[in-house]
Structure 1
Amino acid sequence: MSIAETKIKKFENSNCAENNVFYQAMEEVIYSIAPLLESDGKYSRYAILDRLVVPDRIIKFKVTWLDDNNQIQVNTGYRVQFNNALGPYKGGLRFHPSVNEGVLKFLGFEQILKNSLTGLPIGGGKGGSDFDPKGKSDFEVMKFCTAFMTELHKYIGPRIDVPAGDIGVGSREIGYLFGEYKKITSSYEGALTGKPYFFGGSLMRPEATGYGVVYFTQSMLEIEKKEPLDGKICIVSGAGNVALHAIEKLQQIGAIVVSCSDSHGTIYDSRGVDLELLKELKLNRRTSLEEYVQTHTEAKYTPVFEYPEGAQAVWNIPCYAAFPCATQNELHEADAQNLIANGCVSVSEGANMPSTPNAIALLQSHNICFAPAKAANAGGVAVSEFEMSQNASMSKWSYAKVDEKLKETMRMICKRVALTAKDYGVEGNYVDGANIAGFKKVADAMIAEGI
C-alpha cells in the first residue's frame, strides 16, 4: 500500500458526517502530493501530513444578542486557527446557517495551501457563525457583530490572526466588527481586513477574488495555448461578491457573460447579463434574481425546482468558459457532462471547492482546462495581505498599484502551478500542481521550525 493510500485509510477511520467536506478536501490533496511523498522521505519522517491535517486549535464560543423585538438570540461562533508556519493565521469569517466545525475545517485547510501559493507571509485559518444576515436589519447585524467580536477579540491581532470577510460578511459586517474590536482593545491596528477604505481598507478588496479568477484564467489559457476570453461566451454561477466582480472583469476584457444564479434559480440572458441591474437586485435591494426578467423580458429565469435531476440549469448553457462562483459542491458529474457536450474549454473555480471529485475527474479526462479554487480564487487573500502591509506602514496604495500587484500575483501563481505539475510528471493538471506547490512550501517551513 502506498504512503498516500495508508494516510487516506488512517484518516478515513476518523471521518464523520460533519467532516465530509473536510475529508473530501484532504483526500484530494493527499492523492495529489503522492509523488512528492514517495520521492522524498523527509515529509514522512517529520510526519508533516499527520501534523498538517490537524488544526493548531479550534475555538468555539456562544454568541448571545438581542434582536429588534428585544428577544434573546443565541448562535455559535468559531475560529479555526489551522497553521501559521508561513505567517499569521489568515482567512475569512463566514456567517451562514450551514456553518459548522467541519465546514470551517475544510475551508481552513484549503486556506493553508491557497495562502502558500500566493508567496506572501500568511498562514491559514477560517471562522464564522451559523448566524444568517439575510432578513436581518442593519441594527440586528450590528448587535450580532458586536457580540461576536466580544469573544473573538481575545484570539486575533495583526501578528496573530487576521480574519477577513467571506459569505455573509462584507464591508458592513467587517466595519461593525472592527469598530467593536477598536472599542474593546483601544487599539487602531490591522486586526481585520476587508475594512471600509476610510478606516484602513485597501482599494480593490471587494473586486479582488472575482478579478483574480479572471486574471488566472487568462494566464492558464495562454500557457495551454488556447484562445483568449475576448469575444467568448462565458457562464457564471452565483450572484454574490465573487460572481458579480468576475462578471464585471469578464465584461471589461470583452467576454460575453450570459448567466448568473442564486439559491432560488438561474438567469440566462443571451445578449449578455445586465450587471448594473444585478448589482441593484443583489447589493441594494437584496432580492431574488427572479425580478431580473421583469426588466429584461427576453431573458429566461429557471427556478431551482425546475432543474433536471442531478444537474443545474446554469451548467447546461453552451459556453467557452465556465466560472462556478457560488458554493462548495455545486458542479456535479452530470453538470460536467453538460459542459463537455456544449463545447466548454475552461472551468475556473471562484468559490471554494465548488466542483465534486467526479466532476473534476471527468473534466480533466476530456482535456478541459481546470483551475482549482486554491489557485484561481487566491486573489482575495492576496489583496487582504496587501491591506495588512498598508496598515502596518500606515500608507495607502493607489488602485492602479493594487490592480497591477494582483495581476502579477495571479500570473505568478498560475506559472508556478503549471511548472510544478510539469516537474512532477502531470503537465496540464493544475489541481495536482497547486496541491504539490502549496504543500511543499508549508511542509518545508514546518520542518525548518522543528516540532
Structure 2
Amino acid sequence: MLTNEYVKRVYDQVQKRDGDQPEFLQAVYEVLDTLQPVIAKHPEYEANGVLERLVEPERVVKFRVAWVDDAGKVQVNRGYRVQFNSAIGPYKGGLRFHPTVNEGVIKFLGFEQILKNSLTTLPMGGGKGGSDFDPKGKSDAEVMRFCQAFMTELSRHIGQFTDVPAGDINVGAREIGYLFGQYKRIRDEYSGVLTGKGLEFGGSLARTEATGYGLCYYTAEALRVLKNDSFEGKTVVISGSGNVAIFATEKAQELGAKVVTASDSNGYVYDPDGIKLDIVKDIKLGHRGRIKEYAERVPGAEYHEGCAGVWTVPCDIALPCATQNEIDEASAEALVKNGCTVVCEGANMPSTPEAIAVYQKNGLLYGPAKAANAGGVAVSGLEMSQNSYRLSWTFEETDAKLKSIMESIVAESLAAAKEYGEEGDLMAGANIAGFVKVANAMVAQGIL
C-alpha cells in the first residue's frame, strides 16, 4: 500500500499517463511500494526527481516493419525499442517477438530490466524491444526477411556503446544471427552490438544455458541461506519448454531434484518419473514441435490441455519459466495447498500481485524475476566483455562467473532488505539494492 506522499504522487502520474498499460502499471507499483522506506530515508532522491525520471523512459522508438512472405504478400508488423535508463551503462535488454507484444509490455520489461541489470553489478542500463511478429509457423526465409526489415530500422538506434539488444521469447540463435548479419551489412562494422550470438561470430559459451542455470543457482543459494536446504530430493514443477525452462530443468536435475512438468502455450505434460530432457530438447530445439508430443513418446506421461493446471501438480519448488502473469491467486493457492514452499521466477513477472500476496501470507521463499532470472543478462554482459577483449572464456570460466553473480544477488538483496527493515524479503531487497545504485548514479549525473 502506497503511503509515502512522494511515491503516491509519482504513481498517480504514471496512472494518468499510462493507464492503458496494465503490465507496466503492475511493475511500477510493485517497485514503488517496496521503495517507500528508501525514499523516506533519502530526501535527495525526491529533490532530484529520481522517481519521476525512473518511471519515464529516456526514449521510446516505435516503427513499421514491412516484409514479404513466401506467398509474395506484403505483411506489416510493429516494432519497438524502449531505451529506459542509461545511468549505469548502455541500454541492455532483449527483443521479444510475440503476438502479445505492445508498448506497455515492452515498457514493463524495460523497467524491470533497469533493476535487474543493476543487480548483476555489471555496467548495463535498462532497455527492451520487440515486435508483434510471431515466428511460429513461419519458414526460415520468412523469419530472415522479417529480421532484416526489423533491423533496418532498429540499426539507427543501437550500437555497442549505446544500446545492446539480446534475445527474449521467440528470439533465439536463428533470429539473432539474421539480426546481426543485417546490422553488419548496414553499418559495415563488426561489433558486439547484439548478445546471444553464435559461437562462430562472437557469442559466449554458457549464454544459452545462462537464464535457466542462473535461476537454479539463485534458488539453491536462497535455499541454503534462508532454509539451510537444497534441491536434493525435491520435486520441482517448471512451466514452459523454451530455453529458460529447458536449462532450468537440466540444472535442477543436476542438483538432485526431480522435475515433473513441462508446458507450452497449448498445455502441459506431467511425468511422475521425472522429465526426460533429451526428449524435450528434441521436440523444442530439434524440430520446434508441441509439448503434447512428449506424452506420445514417453510411457506413463500425461498431457493436459491448458497451461494453468501445471500449478495444481504437487511439488516442493515451483519455477515459472513461461510468461508474465501465468500464476494468479487461485494457482498460487493451489501451489500452497499441494505442499509448495519455494517459488523462484524464471520468466519476467510471472506472478500476479494477488499471487505474490499468497506467497507472502503463507511464508513461501519467493525469488522475484528481476533477481532470479538475471543470469541471462549477466552472461550477456560477460559476452560484451569478451567482445571488447576480442577473446573467449571457457564454459567453466563463464559458468563460474554466472554462479558467483547469482549468489551475490541473493546476498545483496538480503542485505538491502535488512537495512530497510524488511529482513528476509527477497523481493523488497532486490528492488532496493537495484534501485539505490541507479538512483545514486542519476543524482551524481545531474537532471537529465
User: TM-score of the superposition, structure 2-length normalised?
Assistant: 0.98
Partner letter of residue 446 of structure 1?
M
Aligned to 1:30: 32
1:257-272 alignment runs, 5 A limit: 257-272=259-274
Partner letter of residue 139 of structure 1?
A
1:179 & 1:185 partners in 2: Cα distance? Answer: 10
The alpha-carbon distance between structure 1 residues 359 and 226, as it changes in their structure 2 partners (threshold 3 A), is farther
Aligned to 2:154: 152
1:389-428 alignment runs, 5 A limit: 389-428=385-424
- Aligned match for 2:364, one of 355, 364, 368: 368
| Structure 1 residue 233: Cα displacement | 0.5
Partner letter of residue 292 of structure 1?
Y
Aligned to 2:77: 75
2:74 & 2:9 partners in 1: Cα distance? Answer: 49
Aligned to 1:387: 383
Aligned to 2:338: 342
What is the DSSP-based 3-state SS (H/G/I as helix, E as strand, rest coil) of the residue aligned with 1:13?
helix
Aligned to 2:428: 432
Partner letter of residue 315 of structure 2?
C
Q: Deviations over 1:384-441 (max 9, x none)?
A: 0100000011001000000000000000011000111111111111111011111111
Aligned to 2:8: 5
Aligned to 1:95: 97
Partner letter of residue 13 of structure 1?
K
1:288 & 1:171 partners in 2: Cα distance? Answer: 19
Aligned to 1:203: 205
Q: Deviations over 1:55-95 (max 9, x none)?
A: 00101111111111111111111110110000000000111
**Are 2:14 and 2:55, in contact at CA under 8 Å, matched by a contact in 1?**
no
Partner letter of residue 132 of structure 1?
D
Aligned to 1:328: 324
Partner letter of residue 33 of structure 1?
L
Q: Structure 2: give runs of 5+ residues left out of the alignment.
A: none
1:322 & 1:226 partners in 2: Cα distance? Answer: 18
| Structure 1 residue 290: Cα displacement | 1.1
Q: Structure 1: give runs of 5+ residues left out of the alignment.
A: none
What is the DSSP-based 3-state SS (H/G/I as helix, E as strand, rest coil) of the residue aligned with 1:91?
strand
1:29-48 alignment runs, 5 A limit: 29-48=31-50
The alpha-carbon distance between structure 1 residues 371 and 14, as it changes in their structure 2 partners (threshold 3 A), is same
Partner letter of residue 181 of structure 1?
Y
1:253 & 1:410 partners in 2: Cα distance? Answer: 16
1:43 & 1:280 partners in 2: Cα distance? Answer: 51
2:328 & 2:272 partners in 1: Cα distance? Answer: 24
| Structure 1 residue 332: Cα displacement | 0.7
1:21 & 1:265 partners in 2: Cα distance? Answer: 23
1:371 & 1:226 partners in 2: Cα distance? Answer: 16
Q: Does 1:165 align with 2:167?
A: yes
- Aligned match for 1:51, one of 33, 50, 53: 53
1:292-331 alignment runs, 5 A limit: 292-304=294-306, 312-331=308-327
Partner letter of residue 177 of structure 1?
L
2:340 & 2:227 partners in 1: Cα distance? Answer: 15
What is the DSSP-based 3-state SS (H/G/I as helix, E as strand, rest coil) of the residue aligned with 1:353?
coil
Q: Moved runs in structure 1, 4+ residues, more than 4 A?
A: none
Aligned to 2:252: 250
| Structure 1 residue 238: Cα displacement | 0.6
The count of corresponding residues between Structure 1 and Structure 2 is 444
What is the DSSP-based 3-state SS (H/G/I as helix, E as strand, rest coil) of the residue aligned with 1:184?
helix
2:396 & 2:82 partners in 1: Cα distance? Answer: 34
| Structure 1 residue 10: Cα displacement | 3.0
**Are 2:92 and 2:164, in contact at CA under 8 Å, matched by a contact in 1?**
yes
2:45 & 2:118 partners in 1: Cα distance? Answer: 17
User: TM-score of the superposition, structure 1-length normalised?
Assistant: 0.97
Aligned to 1:16: 19
2:227 & 2:266 partners in 1: Cα distance? Answer: 37
| Structure 1 residue 352: Cα displacement | 0.1
| Structure 1 residue 139: Cα displacement | 0.5
Partner letter of residue 431 of structure 1?
M
Partner letter of residue 233 of structure 1?
T
Q: Deviations over 1:347-397 (max 9, x none)?
A: 000000000001101111111000000000000000001000000110010
1:401 & 1:210 partners in 2: Cα distance? Answer: 17
What is the DSSP-based 3-state SS (H/G/I as helix, E as strand, rest coil) of the residue aligned with 1:147?
helix
2:52 & 2:222 partners in 1: Cα distance? Answer: 32
